[in-house]
Structure formats: structure tokens, C-alpha cells
Chains A and B, each alone.
Chain A
Amino acid sequence: MVPAPLTSIAILGGGLAGAFAAARLARSLPDDMTLTLVDVPGAEAKDLFFGTVTTPAAYNVMLALGLGEPEVLPQTDTTFSLGTQYSWAGREWVQAFHQPLPVMAGVQFHQYAARARQDYADFVMSVAAARRGAFAHPPEGQKTPLAELEYGYHFLPAQWAKLLHDALPARVERVAGEVASVDTEGETLRSVKLEDGRTIEADLFIDAAGVWSAPGSGWTGGSMIYAEESLTPAQGPVGVVRTLQQLDYGWSATTPLRTGTHTLTASKSGEGLKLGRSDRAWIGNVLSFGLLATGADPLTTAPMTLLMRNVESLAELIPFTTDMRVEAREYNRRHRDDFDHAHLFERAFGTEGYPDRLAHKIEQFESRGALVQYDLEPFEAQDWLLLHLGMGRIPKARDVLADRVPDAQLHSQLATMRRAVETVAAKLPPAKVYHDGLLRYLGKRNA
């Protein structure tokens, strides 16, 4: 029997995950498919666990949804982010977004910095700008250290969810209501009944509200995280990084937004989320999506990075027919790999009890500064490098080839690079000045 074509998709849950999925699918589906977004009240309650920082990848993701900076910046409190300033494990560092520094004569840059006993971070444009609380857009196609600046965003999940909702094309049918019951058969969710009596049917359900999952999905992880948030009005943005401090139990982060300072404290009270990931997020015709399938600690940028990756996997795997076993298997494989790789990064904030694959990474770094990367990791080699250095992991030895450059030449080259970064950083405007100016310009342009 030839399986029927897939013609309808319903997304359950209007939080940030549901909104992202809806926005992406609305732009990806052929005209003859229907897309419904069911706004299940309360589905956004846990959205604070997406954290407040996105990586640079968000720029392209939002742009592809028709939401460039001219839309995002004026309509929300979003600000530019160069990363996170951590006070962690008794140490301080800026975990900055950045491009890898140049490989010179076949040797990675940090090996030379190590040889010259200099701090790698001093050569990173984003770090230099972050230390001064300064920002400007990196110019395209110019040879200046500023072109190396990489930035993401500070944002509020609720604001981005609203932004995405408001921009949804008319093809998305929008419904709101509490789920009263579900009609299931085996691994198939036939329909969802809302309290007002309406019935939502679809060939594929994307469940971002925890409505239903077929038995046997399995879960890896298990501990809970609790968090509370608050917003203090301020004439911001007063900085260009999130600052995150370790507490006796958990941590607390402050994020400079346009009209206020946001505080997120992950400790013993507040909203709770189960950390870990579903082993098979997609079973039958239900894809469990968002924080309930992918519980990452907002200590790092993992929650948003994983959301963006999952949205991408989904868009690439929109099923062709109602037989979607291949799609489910492939989605689940990607989902597991992405989460597990991101999780290694989070575990690297610890000082012991490393899982094998992380232990290997740390051992290789500590023995010779080698940066081991597995396939398609969400965190890249340069992220790992700053984290290792930040955590005080010092390679015992360095790349033998780094010794080929004569001392004098190395020192003068490094001095030149360092000076170039400092000179540019010194000329950058404070983040607030730049941000205000940009908004004024956009305001005039839009008027």
C-alpha cells in the first residue's frame, strides 16, 4: 500500500519553540499543505530556560524568517552580545564569540600565544571590545581586526516569540485553547480536542506543549533545574556581554537589554525543568519539540543553539508521506548528537566526573593544546579553546612546530597583532551609544 501524502501539520504550543517551528515551516511548506498553530496557554511558562543569549547563528536564522535587525532591534529589547563574562570555579573570563585566529605556518594561533606566554584572549577582537563595553558592526570584506568581531544577541524569549508570531504569514491557521483530550491509536495521534470543543486533526503534530508522547520515547539525563527571572528598568544597554556568576548552589546571570537589566537565577526555587534529552523525540506522527524534549542548562548558549538546530533538522525533514519512519529516525539521530555534543560543553564547566568523550577532549588539550572536535558539534573549536583557558586548563606542552618561528619574529608579530586589536577596540563607541545611534537611524529610515 502506498502511504498517503502528508498534507497537514499542527504545532501545539505557542511558546518560543512553537513560534520558531511555525515561522520556519510557514516559509518551507508547499502551498497545498496546511499549517495550524495551537496556542496552548501556559506552554511558554518554561521559556526562561532558553536563556537570554543567542550565538551569531541567530542572525541568519532570523533573517531567513524575514526578521532582520531593522525589525528585531526596534520592536524588542534585543541588544548585541559578544558573549558571556563568567565568574566561575574561582575564575573570570569572557566566553566571546569569535572566528578562529589565523593558522600560521600550519600551526594554530593559540600555540604561538602559549609559546610566547601571552594570553590568547588578548588577540580576540570580541574579547577586547567586551572588556571595554564597546561595540560596532563588523565591516564586510575589509581587512581590519574589526571584521573578526562576531556577535550574537541578548534577547527575551517572550519578546522573540511574539515577534515571530506577529510575523507569521496568513497561511498559518491560528487557534488558541486548552487541550481537553487526545485521540490516539498506537503511536499515532489522530486528533486533539480543545476545551471549547474544537478538534484539531493533522498528519503530523509538533508538540511543544507536552500534550502527548507515545510510550517508549526514553530519556537521558534526569536532574532538575530551577530558575527565576526579573527585569530591572535601566537606561541600557550598559554592556555588551551577559555576566554570569557561580553561586553556592547554581548561578545567577545578568543580561543588559535595551530598556532594562534582566536577571536569571538558577538555584533552588522557581520554575523547574528536567535536564537531559528525549532518546526518541519523534515517534509515530508526533515530534516532541522544544524544552520538553531538549532540556539544556542556560548556563551556556546551548538552549537557543539547539532550538535553532532542531528547527533546521525539522525543515530539512518535512515528511513526504504519512510513513515518516525515515524522517523520525534521522531527526532523532541528529537531535541526540546535537544535544550530546552541546552537553559535553556544559559538562566542561565542571572540574571532575567527565564523560569519556569529554575526558578525551580535555586530556588532549591539557597534554598538548590539541582541540579535538567530533562531527558537527554545536560548539566550535574556538569556543572550546576559550572555555578550556577560562577554566584554567593549561597545556603541558605545545606544538613542536610552533618553535620554528624565531623568537624575535614571533614577538614582533604578536605585538603587532595585539596592538592592532587594541587600537581598534579603543576607537569603538560604547555599546549604548552605538545602539542608540543605530535605533535613531532605523527610526528615521522607517519613518
Chain B
Amino acid sequence: MGIQRICILGGGTAGWMTAAGLSNKFNSLGIDITLIESDAIGTVGVGEATLPHIRMFNQALGIDEAEFMRATRATFKLGIEFCDWGRLGDRYIHPFGDYGAPVDGIEFHHFWLRLLQNGHSAALDDFSYPVLAAEAGKFRMPGPDISRIGSNFGYAYQFDSGRYAKYLRGYSEARGVTRMEGRVVEAAREKKSGDIASVTLDDGRSVTADLFIDCSGFRGVLIEQELQTGYEDWSRWLPCDRAQAVPCEARGPSLPYTRATAREAGWQWRIPLQHRTGNGYVYWSEYISDEQATEQLMSTLEGPATADPKQLYFKTGKRKQLWNRNVVAIGLSGGFLEPLESTSIYLIQEGITALIELFPTSLDMERDASEYNRRMDLGFDRVRDFLLLHYVATQREDSPMWRYFRNMELPDSLSEKMEAWRSRGYVQRYEHGVFLPPSWIAVMAGQNLIPQGRDRRVDARPMADVIAMTDSIAKQSHAAVASTPNHGDFLKRYGAIDPSIMDAAE
């Protein structure tokens, strides 16, 4: 007999995304899904910037894009702007898209390096449509022909995560998911196997299931409090351990990108939505007090705060096993990596996708768990290295935190990657993992790691050809941006604006 009943514990972004993903796939198979959430406990209520992969998730659910954007008051996102990371005063955009396009199998950036290393002035950004469009506050959809400049990019959203959860709740309930309100106070185990048999709520009701998805947030009610799975602590590499989040009134036109500004003891985010701007300060408590953090955060808001700052505590790392016995931890219960590259919702999505692909065919799910854990561990590891890159590819030394990173011993996987880049602009590739070479290039080049060498094959071409080819790509990119509408206009035309905001504005 296979899985008959699933219990999802938690109704935050992770819980409702899981409920939507699973009900979409398993509803017609008669598998019963119950989600338990507690109004008293609430959700973390942050997490508003996403990666392009979320579009695939929504598409698989059959969600209409404009409707979803209205419901979540979403804006488009072409990338992340990083300020003050390489040096104070620096800025660059990490776009969702390639720089130029490979020529005869040679990655484009090597042609750029040849220009640079021969004394030509050339900005890498000139070869990226999404960077130029973001800078100009513009947006349109990528065209179908991805070989064209101005079409080979991806985009994501910045949205109100509370509204996204609510939206997916409606979706899930329409597909048979039962929602229960209440606090889980106890779990009962199967005598023989030690698996979790049921959970009991504070009002005495209990839910029996074959498979439990723990989406209970940082607590990890089942995966940790009950199963004591253990946590792999990565704070040695990513030591920031607190955050404060506060929304404020938006000022100026809505921008199609997120901003992450480095500070002396952490970094600050700015996420523009339709109706407000989300802000937050992620910091290392060793080097700044909560009060100072509040002060810094509040003094840098672009408009009046619309709520009190919310204090959050965390430890970077991940659960030793994300799937242990009959419990799968998805979301913050599984691990936390700071939101510098908007990876948490992506990792939730990966967890759901892998769970669907490896959905247990029987109650004996040890093998499914072993493959699930292998895949997800790799995903987490690779995100960790990429996040760490931002802190160590820097020339900053102006505070104890930055000096800490300067003296850090890096994981081999990362130091080899950086050295290969520095020496010859070479980017190690992998197949499984979210950040492809262009992302690594964006961050390393954006933070002033400029290679000494390049791929020698570019030198087999006449310099004049290289100049003509790169010029033409830069011209095409700029021309494509010139004909792109403003982000705000596009949102309106697309029917993506929540009507209640339109009314309020008029």
C-alpha cells in the first residue's frame, strides 16, 4: 500500500506552496492532504524576492500570471543590485541572464576580457540586456527567440509573501486540501518503526498520516523537536544571525530589481512591491546591537515605516537529514541561508519538486529519502558557496566583520573556483545547482575580481573582429532597452496591478 494521507504542518510560504504543489499532482489519486497552521504562532512573514524558477512552479500549477501578480501585489525582478560589496561606493547588478552569447563554444566574457586586458574600456554590463533594462527601470517579457539579444534573460517577482500564501491556500483548498487551525502539541510514534503516526492539536483533535511534511518554520516541530535530526551549523562561513524587517511607503517609480547594500556588520535589503517597499537588515550580532541595527535600518528608509520593525533570529545551516523517517522538512524547518540571493523560496520549490519526483511508492521510504537528501544537500551546499562568495570577493576591510572574512579559510570548492577565475576567467561548471556561470561572473567581476588571463582561443581571432563583434552586441542590447517600456507602465498594461492600489492612487 502506498501513501494515503499526507499531513503538512505549517501554513507559511513553505506550507502552502507544498500544499499547492502536492494537491495539484495527487488530488486525482485520492490522496488525502491536511494542512495544520496556528494563528497564534503565525508565520515569519518575510521573504519577498524570488528567482526565475518560481515561474515554472506557478506554470505547473496552471496559475495565470497577471492574476497572481494582482493578488500578491507583485513587481517584476530582473536581478539584484549589490551596493558597497566590493568596495564602499561600488555597485553592480547580478542579472538573470547571460552576458552576450558564446561564440564557437567560447564563453562571451573572454572576449570582453581580451578588450579589457588590451587597454580598451569595456563595461560588461553593456552586453547584458537585463542589467541595462533594470538600470533604466524598464521591463518587458523575453521574446521566444532566445538567440536574440534582449530575449535570453529570465525574470522573477518581488511579491507580498503573505498574500502569496493566501493565494495558494485558495488554490489548495479548491483541490481538496483540508485546513485545520490549531497548535500541534504532541506527536505519536509508530511502535515498530519509530515513524510518526499522528500529531495532536491543543484542542485535542489529532491527525493521522503516512507522510508528514514539516513546514513549521525555524522550530522544526517534527524534524527536530520530535525526531532530533540534528543541525549542520554553517555560521562559521555565514555568521550573520539576526535580522530586522520593516515595510515602508514606496517612493519613486517601482524598480524591477531588488537591492542588497553591504553594511559594516551585515547587509540591508530593499524589495519594491506595488504598494510598499520591503526593507530589512541582516546582521551579525557580535558586531552590532539590536538597537543600533534598528537605528541604522530606520534611518535609511526611503519613506515612512508602515509597521514596527520585526526582530528575527536564526542560525545558518541545514538539517542533517532533510528527509528523516516519514518526515520531510521543507522551508525554514529544513535550513536557513540568508536571503542575499533570494534562494529560500527557490529551495522550498526544489524540495517540493524533488518530493514529487521521489514520492514514496510504499510506506518503506528509506531509499526515497536517501536520494532526496543527496540532491537537496548538494543544492544547499552550492547555494552556501555562492553566498559566501559575496563576502569574500571583496576589498573591504573597514570593520571587524569584513576583516573576519578576509582571514577566513574557505571551503576548497570555493577557493579553487575563485583562483581559476582570477587566473584566467575560467568558471567551473556544474550541472546540478541553481547558479550558472553567468551568476558567478556577475558577482566576481562586479566585486572587482578581474582575471589576469583569459581563454586563449579568443586570441586566435583578429582584434578587429573582436571589437566589431562586441560593439555590435552592445549596440543591440542598448537598442533593445530603448524600445522597452517602463516597468510601471508595463505592469499596468499587463493587468498586473492590484485594482485596490490603482483606486487608492487615483
Contacts and interface: CB of A to CB of B under 8 A. Distances in A.
Q: Do A and B bind each other?
A: yes
Given A364-B371, A401-B25, A320 B359 contact: no
Given A376-B429, A404-B28, A106 B356 contact: yes
A400 B104 contact: no
B456 A30 contact: yes
A27 B460 contact: yes
A140 interface: no
Given A106-B356, A330-B420, A397-B362, A368 B430 contact: no
A370 to B, nearest CB: 6
Interface string B423-454: 11010111110000000000000000000111
Given A106-B356, A397-B361, A376 B371 contact: no
Contacts of A368: 358, 361, 367-368
A330 B426 contact: yes
B426 A317 contact: yes
Interface in A363-422: 363-364, 367-368, 370, 372-376, 397-401, 403-404
A181 B367 CA distance: 57
Interface residues of A, number: 38
A30 B459 contact: yes
Contacts of B360: 400
A211 B464 CA distance: 41
Contacts of B423: 320, 326
B416 interface: yes
B403 interface: no
B2 interface: yes
Contacts of A330: 416, 420, 426, 428
Given A326-B423, A400-B361, A106 B60 contact: yes
Interface in A1-55: 27-31, 33
Interface string A333-376: 10000000000000000000000000010011001101011111
Nearest to B368: A368
Contact of B371 (A28, A29, A321, A372): A372
A397 B60 CA distance: 25
Contact of A364 (B367, B431, B453, B460): B367
Contact of B453 (A315, A321, A372, A376): A321
A344 B28 CA distance: 39
Nearest to B451: A320
B359 A400 contact: yes
B28 A28 contact: no
Interface centre among A373, A401, A403 (most CB of B within 10 A): A401
Contacts of A373: 431-432
Given A320-B452, A320-B454, A399-B359, A30 B460 contact: yes
A420 to B, nearest CB: 27
Given A29-B456, A318-B457, A321-B453, A360 B371 contact: yes
Contacts of A400: 2-3, 26, 29, 359-361
A367 B360 CA distance: 10
A315 B426 contact: no
A327 interface: yes
B419 interface: yes
B426 A316 contact: yes
A427 interface: no
Contacts of A370: 357-358, 371
A64 interface: yes
Interface string A68-102: 00000000000000000000000000000000000
B455 interface: yes
- Most chain B CB within 10 A, of A106, A329, A368, is at A368
A68 B46 CA distance: 56
A318 B426 contact: no
A376 B437 CA distance: 14
A401 B359 contact: yes
Contacts of B374: 360, 372
A326 B424 contact: yes
Residue in A33, A316, A317 with the greatest tally of chain B CB atoms within 10 Å: A316
B370 interface: yes
A103 to B, nearest CB: 11
A318 B428 CA distance: 15
A368 B424 CA distance: 44
A31 B460 contact: yes
Given A370-B357, A400-B2, A329 B416 contact: yes
A404 B454 contact: no
A375 B431 CA distance: 5
A328 to B, nearest CB: 11
Interface residues of B, number: 40
Interface string B1-36: 011000000000000000000000110110000000
B28 to A, nearest CB: 6
Nearest to A329: B416
B25 A106 contact: yes
A27 to B, nearest CB: 7
Contacts of B454: 320
Contact of A327 (B2, B359, B424, B459): B424
Nearest to B457: A28
A360 B370 contact: yes
Contacts of B25: 106, 401, 404
Contacts of B3: 400
Contacts of A317: 424, 426
B486 to A, nearest CB: 37
Contacts of B424: 317, 320, 326-327
A114 B460 CA distance: 52
Interface string B365-381: 00110110010000000
Nearest to B417: A330
Contacts of A315: 457
B357 to A, nearest CB: 7
Nearest to B433: A375
A368 B357 CA distance: 10
A326 B452 CA distance: 12
A404 B460 contact: no
A326 B420 contact: yes
B426 A401 contact: no
A57 to B, nearest CB: 12
A272 B169 CA distance: 66
Contacts of B426: 316-317, 326, 330
Contacts of B368: 367-368
Contacts of B429: 376
A215 B371 CA distance: 40
A355 to B, nearest CB: 15
A170 to B, nearest CB: 15
A194 to B, nearest CB: 27
Nearest to A320: B453
A440 B176 CA distance: 65
Contacts of A329: 416
Nearest to A27: B460
Contacts of A28: 456-457, 460
Nearest to A400: B359
Interface in B96-126: 104-105
Given A326-B423, A360-B370, A360-B374, A29 B460 contact: yes
Given A320-B452, A367-B367, A399-B357, 5 more contacts: A28-B457, A326-B419, A398-B361, A400-B3, A400-B359
Interface of B: 2-3, 25-26, 28-29, 60, 104-105, 356-362, 367-368, 370-371, 374, 416, 419-420, 423-424, 426, 428-432, 452-457, 459-460
22 contacts: A27-B460, A28-B457, A29-B459, A30-B456, A31-B460, A106-B60, A315-B457, A320-B453, A320-B454, A326-B419, A326-B424, A367-B368, A372-B371, A374-B432, A375-B430, A397-B361, A399-B359, A399-B361, A401-B26, A401-B359, A404-B28, A404-B29
- What 7 pairs between A and B have smallest CB-CB spacing? A320-B453, A397-B361, A30-B459, A318-B456, A326-B423, A28-B457, A375-B431
